[in-house]
Amino acid sequence: MQFCEACGSMMHADGEAMVCSGCGRREPRDEERAAAFVSTEARTEGDVIETEEGAAFEGKPTTETTCERCGHGRAWYTIKQTGAADEPPTRFFKCRDCGHRWREYS
């Protein structure tokens, strides 16, 4: 994110410029700085957290947990905020051995 030096509001991309959503100030877009961010325009499939039945978990982080179906001790996981911002996130798991999927609420 880039913030306006004049008023502190968040800026958004508008072509080759960054525009302040508060005061309207325009600044040239710093391509080196912009490369560190992923916008909705440049988002790839790998940037999206998949939690549906057909989602591929392979390549995601793993953790030590016990699969309730086969008893295996490791699973891939993702975390997603499924409720309000003041509620804990939901953790989605997929067993590395049998592929069983489950979720846990904190």
Give the active site residues: 86-87
For residue 76, give the amino acid letter.
Answer: W
Token pair recorded at residue 46:
């790998």
Which residues touch 92 (CB under 8 Å, ≥6 apart)? Answer: 51, 77, 78, 79, 80, 101, 102, 103
Whether the CA torsion 28, 33, 35, 37 is positive or negative: it is negative
Nearest to 101 by CA among 73, 77, 71: 77
Coil, helix or strand at residue 11: strand
